């Protein structure tokens, strides 16, 4: 790579085009998501449980789509076309939501699901391909890119949340759509900056005929459009996803372990370990993803959000997580290096245990501060401390998990292993909706929400989640030695 391809900081110029493209795409995605539950409950008059299940089905499908989007880009579309197609679909989806009723919302969500599957799965791949193998700048480059993700999330959970709740949900969704158009424009007009990356162009296989003289490229594009109403159906009749996700998980777990058996005893053990970690990951994120549903409704009804006379919008409380990620992300990166140097870096199982422990303690913060509630409202510091513990727990588990997958899986099935890991997020988000549905608040006799009963329900469910997570953390710590044995030296 020539010096002209490098910025003064030593990174390829294309990194910063991808940084801002991803930042605005995350602004779009989280901008819609931060308002979704409140929009369902307050504008479309859905019950808490129904809104939570819709939210869970939607976010679960978003992650599931990423698995397919990556495979189609690898084999047919190339990364650039996949990202452009995804950008257009996501922007269209945001603007469809402005139709203002349930049909337009579900169709818009379907378009965002398909678009996100193409965009999210492939832009990170281009970042990796900007660097040569073993390039020491790669980790730093991904750290910069990860900051872009969280800046986009922070902007969405502040600006879009505030505008949407203060002036009307449609204005928030419109802002999210403009954000997606910004990502599209930056990615397209900056394309010469990342042109040196491999795999950008459409694959020869895309030009081949699938049937009746129709190319695979045409089949994929038409199929993507037809997938939008299919997503509509899956969100609307979300009980179908119970069987769909369970069946896919069993098939993926079987294929990973079988591939490991075919490679020998060491790889067999590592694949068994990977499946166990996938299950642990589901438990973590199913609890963590209460942020967009039950915790947002709890903030709306049972948290005193007044700050010096200004009342923070309920959806805006979700900004704590990306803010803490930006504050602590670099600190944790340095901490792992320092701990490794002195031989104190915890093993992967113990990091997962500590992460789940902190997540559980975060939920138990609500139980502690319930003692100080006034008129069934806890102080805002409750959510600040909850999200602080959730974020530090995330930093113990999330980046570690991605790195672990690349180490545990043989190269021949690295893509399938990463697909299985992303499938765990899909299952977790869907399960998160089911958990959130348990907090559903019923209306009283006068048609008003029973705030007192709702408060007790929230505290009860959050406390139970917390205690269960503490138990899981203890079990993982107890099993850390057997898990490390299965990993055969992977740390």
* Per-residue pLDDT tens over the stretch 382-400: 999 999 999 999 999 988 8
Please tell me the least confidently modeled range out of 176-180, 250-254, 446-450.
446-450
Q: Is the pLDDT confidence value at 337 over 90?
A: no
Domain boundary (209, 238, 267) is at 238
Give 485: exposed, middle or buried? Use CB within 10 Å, 0-12, 13-18, 19+: exposed
Alpha-carbon Rg of the chain, whole angstroms? 22
Please tell me the least confidently modeled range out of 41-45, 124-128, 239-243.
124-128
pLDDT for res 211: 86
- Same domain for 65 and 110? yes
- Same domain for 344 and 391? yes
Please tell me the least confidently modeled range out of 13-27, 159-173, 176-190, 332-346.
332-346
Kindly report the CATH number assigned to the domain that includes residue 45: 1.20.1250.20
- Same domain for 228 and 264? no
Q: Is the pLDDT confidence value at 152 over 70?
A: yes
Domain boundary (238, 258, 273) is at 238
Helices (H), 190-264: 216-236, 240-263
Under the banding of pLDDT at 50, 70 and 90, the label for residue 197 is confident
Mean pLDDT, rounded, of the chain: 92
Q: What is the DSSP annotation of 449-482?
A: B-HHHHHHHHHHHHHHHHHHHHHHHHHHHHTHHH
- Same domain for 326 and 200? no
pLDDT for res 399: 83
Q: Looking at residues 211-218, what average pLDDT do you find?
A: 91
Please tell me the least confidently modeled range out of 48-52, 84-88, 323-327, 407-411.
407-411
Q: Is the pLDDT confidence value at 366 over 50?
A: yes
Q: Is the pLDDT confidence value at 161 over 60?
A: yes
Percent of the chain whose pLDDT exceeds 70: 96
Under the banding of pLDDT at 50, 70 and 90, the label for residue 7 is very low
Q: Tell me the two tokens of residue 57.
A: 């089905």
pLDDT for res 1: 44
pLDDT for res 434: 96
Percent of the chain whose pLDDT exceeds 90: 77
Q: Looking at residues 354-363, what average pLDDT do you find?
A: 98
pLDDT for res 198: 81
- Same domain for 71 and 120? yes
- Same domain for 208 and 252? no
- Same domain for 343 and 283? yes
Under the banding of pLDDT at 50, 70 and 90, the label for residue 444 is low
- Same domain for 216 and 233? yes
Domain span at residue 377 reads 240-491
Stretch (H or E) spanning 208: none
- What values do phi and psi take at 414, rounded to 5? -60, -40
pLDDT for res 4: 42
- Same domain for 227 and 252? no
pLDDT for res 447: 54
CA 244, distance to chain mean position in Å, is 20
CB 462, CB 313: distance < 8 Å:
no
Question: How many separate domains does the chain show?
Answer: 2
Q: What is the pLDDT of residues 457-481, one digit of tens each?
A: 999 999 999 999 999 999 999 999 9
Domain boundary (205, 238, 271) is at 238
Closest of 117, 97, 84 to residue 32, by C-alpha: 97
Cα 352 from Cα 359, distance rounded (Å): 11
Q: Is the pLDDT confidence value at 259 over 80?
A: yes
Under the banding of pLDDT at 50, 70 and 90, the label for residue 442 is low
pLDDT for res 5: 47
pLDDT for res 281: 96
- Same domain for 205 and 256? no
Under the banding of pLDDT at 50, 70 and 90, the label for residue 3 is very low
- Same domain for 57 and 193? yes
Cα 410 from Cα 417, distance rounded (Å): 9
- Same domain for 232 and 320? no
Q: Is the pLDDT confidence value at 180 over 70?
A: yes
């Amino acid at each position: 790579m020539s010096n002209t391809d490098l910025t003064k900081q030593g990174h390829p110029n294309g990194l910063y085009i991808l940084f801002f493209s991803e930042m605005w795409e995350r602004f779009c995605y989280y901008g819609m998501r931060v308002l979704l539950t409140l929009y369902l409950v307050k504008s479309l008059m859905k019950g808490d449980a129904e809104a939570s299940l819709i939210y869970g089905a939607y976010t679960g499908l978003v992650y599931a789509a990423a698995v397919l989007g990556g495979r189609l880009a690898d084999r047919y579309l190339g990364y650039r076309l996949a990202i452009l197609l995804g950008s257009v679909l996501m922007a269209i989806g945001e603007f469809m939501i402005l139709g203002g009723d349930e049909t337009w919302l579900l169709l818009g969500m379907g378009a965002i699901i398909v678009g996100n599957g193409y965009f999210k799965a492939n832009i990170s791949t281009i970042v990796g391909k900007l660097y040569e193998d073993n390039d020491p700048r790669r980790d730093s480059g991904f750290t910069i890119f990860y900051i872009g993700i969280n800046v986009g999330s922070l902007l969405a959970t502040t600006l879009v949340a505030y505008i949407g709740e203060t002036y009307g949900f449609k204005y928030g969704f419109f802002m999210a759509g403009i954000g997606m158009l910004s990502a599209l424009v930056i990615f397209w007009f900056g394309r010469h900056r990342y042109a040196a990356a491999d795999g950008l162009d459409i694959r020869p296989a895309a030009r081949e005929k699938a049937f009746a003289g129709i190319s695979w490229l045409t089949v994929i594009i038409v199929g993507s459009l037809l997938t939008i109403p299919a997503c509509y159906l899956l969100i609307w009749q979300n009980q179908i996803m119970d069987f769909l996700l369970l069946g896919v998980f069993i098939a993926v777990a079987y294929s990973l372990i079988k591939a490991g058996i075919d490679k020998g005893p060491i790889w067999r053990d590592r694949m068994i370990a990977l499946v166990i970690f996938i299950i642990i990951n589901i438990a973590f994120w199913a609890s963590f993803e209460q942020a967009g549903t039950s915790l947002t409704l709890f903030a709306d009804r049972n948290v005193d959000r007044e700050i010096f006379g200004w009342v923070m919008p309920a959806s805006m409380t979700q900004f704590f997580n990306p803010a803490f990620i930006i504050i602590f992300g670099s600190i944790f990166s340095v901490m792992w290096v320092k701990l490794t140097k002195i031989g104190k870096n915890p093993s992967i199982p113990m990091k997962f245990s500590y992460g789940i422990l902190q997540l559980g303690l975060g939920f138990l913060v609500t139980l502690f501060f319930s003692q100080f509630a006034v008129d069934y409202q806890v102080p805002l510091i409750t959510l600040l401390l909850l999200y602080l513990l959730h974020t530090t727990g995330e930093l113990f588990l999330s980046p570690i998990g991605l790195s672990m997958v690349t180490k545990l899986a043989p190269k021949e099935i690295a893509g399938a292993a990463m697909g299985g890991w992303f499938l765990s997020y899909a299952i977790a988000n869907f399960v998160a909706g089911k958990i959130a549905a348990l907090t559903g608040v019923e209306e009283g006799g006068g048609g008003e929400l029973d705030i007192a009963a709702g408060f007790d329900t929230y505290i009860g469910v959050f406390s139970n989640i917390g205690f269960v997570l503490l138990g899981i953390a203890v079990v993982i710590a107890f099993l850390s030695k057997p898990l490390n044995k299965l990993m055969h030296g992977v740390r």
